[in-house]
Structure 1
Amino acid sequence: MIEMQTLRTQPVKAKFSLLIDASRTLTYKELFNLAYPFALFDIKTLNASLYGQFKDVFVTKAQAVTESQLEEIISLVDFIPGATTSQMMVALGTIAMKNAQGGVVALVAFATPGALLLAILSFIYSKYPDPRDLNILIFLAIQGIKASTVALILQLMISMAMHSIKNRVHLSLSILSAVLLVAYQQSYVLILTMMMGGILAIMLEYDAENTAGRRTFIKDQTVTPVIITDPKLINIKNSHKISYLLGNKSFYLYAIILLALLYLNSAYQSMILDISLTFYNIGTFMIGGTPITLPFMYAETVLNPLYINEDAFWLGFGLAAALPGPYLNFAIFLGTHSMGFSGGVCCWIAIFVPSILQIWGLLPHWGNFKTNVYMTKFKQGVVSVATGFLATAVYYSWVDACKYDMPTATVITFLSLIYVSLLNFNSPAVISLGAALFIIRYLALWYYRELDPVIFQQ
């Protein structure tokens, strides 16, 4: 009782408001011109340089977003599920135009160029069930791309491990999750394991040595500020940025879409509806960032229910890394390969929608729970589990890359890891070098050593 009374008497801090009148409102054309150049950046890993680019464009140049707003957005997208760079673009576009349409425009300008290229390449590749039917140089380039892709996934896993694994609890969760994914290759196992990892982190990581125990763990939290009555928070037409009303509507819309997909999928048994629901769920559970979608997609499309073959899966991920735009454009490659352009568009929309609704729904409330210790511990546990899942993705991708030539693929994987980790090459450069090295390897065998390649004899 004494502790509760002490908490109640603490001064209440004013809630952070995203509605700052000093920022200007952009037009659709201005916002599109600001957003589409980001599609050409190598944004596969969100880092300080990309934060600086967002700041230069939206804060300094356009003056449509304030620095405090940008910092608040960065802190949220680093915490919540979803595609990090895509959510940043949605939030910045929404604030810049002071309406939800701005977020959609910014995301379309950012993601569409790469998505169109991936859809076209996927459609062409789907016409060749056996990749050895392709032109010999194209086939060799594909094997080099897949070998370099292993290095990119490994680099993502190392980066996640360095940031998330901080003690023996986190390490144990990562190892356990990797074992479970190999033993039970089902998406529901991934989801349950992630939730249990978060709960275990909360249970095991409070200061057990302190005599006050759990009460001290609770007292360390910052008191949740109350929601003040501010007329600026009311969603008035063309005057709001990200308001509480927009946030609540986003949560409602998310639930409505999910229920509609569940009903339609059960009523009509459509393959497109089924895979759209699958990708909608994948977009929901991207806790730990976009890389966690990789084992989810693998479990749903390759292992079960066999929508796509393994060759196409890892090639698609490599191309998504090499082409402009976010990693989530990988979804349009998978959908187009299995069900044509209509399937690709459905998968692409389905995986992006949860990220959009999450950023709209959570950003107005972020000030209320960003300092909550329980949520921080939960995320740390979930990301530790995701790291283990990503380790299994490294293994599966390496096995596929080595299918035709293990020594060459392994060497290219090792060289690509050096390029991306030590020499700081960007993803397109690493993928291109991998393809070139694989071609050079076999040209040397044919023309200089006069050896018959064994790669086509398997």
Structure 2
Amino acid sequence: MGKGNAAEVFLVFLKLGLTSFGGPVAHLGYFRSEFVERRKWLSENSYADLVGLCQFLPGPASSQVGIAIGLSRGGYAGALAAWAAFTLPSAIALILFAYGLAAVGSNWGGGWLHGLKVAAVAVVAMAILGMARTLTPDRVRASVAIVAMVVAILVPTAGGQIGGILLGGVVGLFCIKGARPVDETVLPLPVSRAAGVAALIVFVALLAGLPVLAAATDNAVLKLFDTFYRVSSFVFGGGHVVLPLLKAEVVPTWVSNDAFLAGYGATQAVPGPLFTFAAYLGTVIGGWQIALVCLAGIFLPSFLLVIGVLPFWDALRKKAAAQAVLAGVNAAVVGLLLAAFYDPVWTAGITNRFDYALGLAAFVLLFVWKTPPWLVVVLCGVAGQLLPGT
């Protein structure tokens, strides 16, 4: 993988930030299409390693994968550029929605929004197909994927996902032999171990110190920052999992239940990470300035964890035992994607025969005609508005 610069990273992620509908699982599909297949910034194995690592970390997995890709391509400036470009389009949209809530109405979206959900079905299906070919090439790893899928379906919580990944790692350690050789240049990271340790120390210090400092100063802005930092630091599973936790923290102290639910609906209608819901909440609480505070609070743990863990992860995966564990974990990630493909991607996107036909057409466009995912998203949005039953 060649080196780039922050401007290049920003432009690529800006396109993704404007077109990546469908939630965190779909984001991983968009990322794979863009960075593994099209631009070849990462190998399939390297990308799967990043996904597997970020499944272990609390916070928004897709945003963390994006930060790691930006870090690898363009250094610290690249990491910031990747996050900003992927996050700001949806954050700005939600800030504007919060300001114009009375004029938006409860039915904003309609058929075109449902069409975007159908597009996500096709994109995720493509991602699963591509990853399964590489990451589940034998009976053991295919079986790991199926078991992880069953665990995730039967235990539809973050605990089920983590359990499936841990199971994959254990099976990999004892049952997978002849793990792939590691390409020494596959994931260059301009982060030293000292910098990684420093980032982890800062992460823990903020997690422990912010509540004390907020209580001592009785500063409302600091309390908000602490709230969003703490939620992001403890939520595993990302995406929709953060919403009930945020509701428990901000309703009714800072935001009414009705306003919270209105923002939740709007968050489903924008591309990019679901954690940008923080921008909407911050705007309702105190305007766009507070929105920036809430955004910084909810995403800062991701920066610190990615920078802190990646230097050690890259070294660890070069050991034979670690490679075997990673092979099992990567197979389990395929299973988790299969589970998520059913619920919520399929169940939300395919609700009638018209959805099924549109989803199949979108898959053919992606798989057979190699149509860019963003164009498929646009076409599905238009079709969703025109087709009956959506």
TM-score, normalised to structure 1, is 0.56
How far off is 1:200 after superposition? Answer: 12
C-alpha separation in 2, matches of 1:416 and 1:120: 35
Distance 1:274 1:49, change over 3 A: closer
Listed as ranges, the gaps of 5+ residues in structure 1 are: 1-22, 129-133, 178-193, 207-213, 223-229, 233-238, 392-411, 441-458
**1:361: Cα distance to partner?**
1.9
Tell me the alpha carbon deviations over residues 38-95 of structure 1, each in whole angstroms, 9 at most, x when there is no partner: 11222422354540212256526xxxx5665434323323443322221122111111
Give the direction of change, closer, same or farther, for the CA distance of 1:307–1:124 in structure 2 (3 Å limit).
same
1:334 paired residue number: 281
C-alpha distance in structure 2 between counterparts of 1:431 and 1:262, whole Å: 47
Cα distance in 2 for residues equivalent to 1:218 and 1:413: 38
Q: CA distance change for structure 1 residues 349 and 357 in 2, over 3 Å: closer, same or farther?
A: same
Alpha-carbon spacing, 1:267–1:219, altered in 2? closer, same or farther (3 Å): same
Q: CA separation in 2, counterparts of 1:260 and 1:144?
A: 45
Q: 1:200 to 1:359 in 2, by over 3 A?
A: closer
CA distance in 2, matches of 1:358, 1:323: 26
SS at match of 1:324: coil
Residues in 2 aligned to 1:322 and 1:249: alpha-carbon distance in whole angstroms: 38
Q: Please tell me the residue identity of whatever aligns with 1:338.
A: I
The answer to whether 1:345 aligns with 2:297 is no
Aligned partner of 1:139 in structure 2 is 105
Greater relative contact order (Cα 8 A, min sep 6): structure 1 or 2? 2
Question: Would you say 1:254 and 2:235 are equivalent positions?
Answer: no
Sequence identity percentage: 21
How has the CA–CA distance of structure 1 residues 117 and 197 changed in structure 2, closer, same or farther, with 3 Å as cutoff?
A: closer
From 48, 61, 68, give the equivalent of 1:84. Answer: 61
* Separation of aligned partners in 2, 1:69 and 1:105: 21
Deviations 1:99-151 (A, max 9, x none): 322211221122112211211221232xx5xxxxx5xxx43524969x979x9
Q: Distance in 1 between matches of 2:165 and 2:45?
A: 31
2:34 corresponds to 1:53: yes
Q: Given that residues 232 and 298 in structure 2 are in contact (C-alpha distance below 8 angstroms), is that contact kept between their aligned partners in structure 1? A: yes
Question: Structure 2 matches for 1:373-452, cutoff 5 A?
Answer: 418=355
Q: 1:416 to 1:332 in 2, by over 3 A?
A: farther
2:76 to 87, 100, 103: 100
- Higher alpha-carbon Rg: 1
Cα pair 2:13 2:82 within 8 Å, conserved: yes
Output the CA distance in 2 between the equivalents of 1:172 and 1:267.
44
Q: Does the alignment pair 1:322 with 2:269?
A: yes
Q: Which amino acid aligns with 1:54?
A: F
Residue deviations 1:371-410, cap 9 Å, x none? 559x96xx99xx9xxx9xx99xxxxxxxxxxxxxxxxxxx
Structure 1's 76 and 370: CA in aligned 2 closer, same or farther, altered over 3 A? farther
Q: Determine the structure 2 residue equivalent to 1:42.
A: 20
Q: How is 1:31-430 mapped onto 2 (pairs within 5 angstroms)?
A: 31-43=9-21, 44=23, 45-56=26-37, 58-59=39-40, 69-97=46-74, 99-125=75-101, 128=102, 134=103, 138-142=104-108, 173-174=155-156, 241-302=190-251, 305-366=252-313, 367=316, 418=355
Q: Tell me what 2:366 maps to.
A: none
2:17–2:89 contact (8 Å) kept in structure 1: yes
With over 3 angstroms needed to count, the CA separation of the structure-2 counterparts of 1:310 and 1:426, relative to structure 1, is farther
Letter in 1 for 2:33: G
Q: Which whole-Å CA distance do the structure 1 matches of 2:219 and 2:353 have between them?
A: 41
AA in 2 matched with 1:111 = T
The change in CA–CA distance for 1:197 and 1:323 in structure 2 (over 3 A counts) is closer
Q: Is the 8 A contact 1:221 1:371 kept in 2?
A: yes
Q: Report the secondary structure of 1:355's partner residue.
A: helix
Distance of aligned partners of 1:173 and 1:262 in 2 relative to their CA distance in 1, 3 Å threshold: same
SS, match of residue 141 in structure 1: coil
The number of residues matched between the two structures is: 332
Mapped to 2, the partners of 1:107 and 1:334 lie a distance apart of 19
| CA–CA separation in structure 1 for the residues paired with 2:54 and 2:201 | 20
Structure 2 unaligned residues grouped into runs of 5+: 126-144, 178-183, 363-375
Aligned-pair distance for 1:276? 1.9
Q: What does residue 189 of structure 1 align with?
A: none
- Name the SS for the 2:190 alignment partner: coil
The 2-side partners of 1:92 and 1:198 are apart by 23
Letter paired with 2:307:
W
The CA deviation string for residues 412-455 of structure 1, in whole angstroms up to 9 with x for no partner, is 99669957977869599679968x999x9xxxxxxxxxxxxxxx
Q: Post-superposition shift, 1:336?
A: 0.9
Distance 1:334 1:34, change over 3 A: same
| Bigger proportion of residues as helix | 2
The code of the aligned residue for 1:139 comes to G
Give the CA deviation at 1:337: 1.0
Task: Tell me the alpha carbon deviations over residues 165-211 of structure 1, each in whole angstroms, 9 at most, x when there is no partner.
Answer: 755x767755xx7xxxxxxxxxxxxxxxx679968998xx89xxxxx
When the two structures are superposed, what TM-score results if normalisation uses the length of structure 2? Answer: 0.64
**Retained in 1: the 8 A contact 2:228–2:294?**
yes
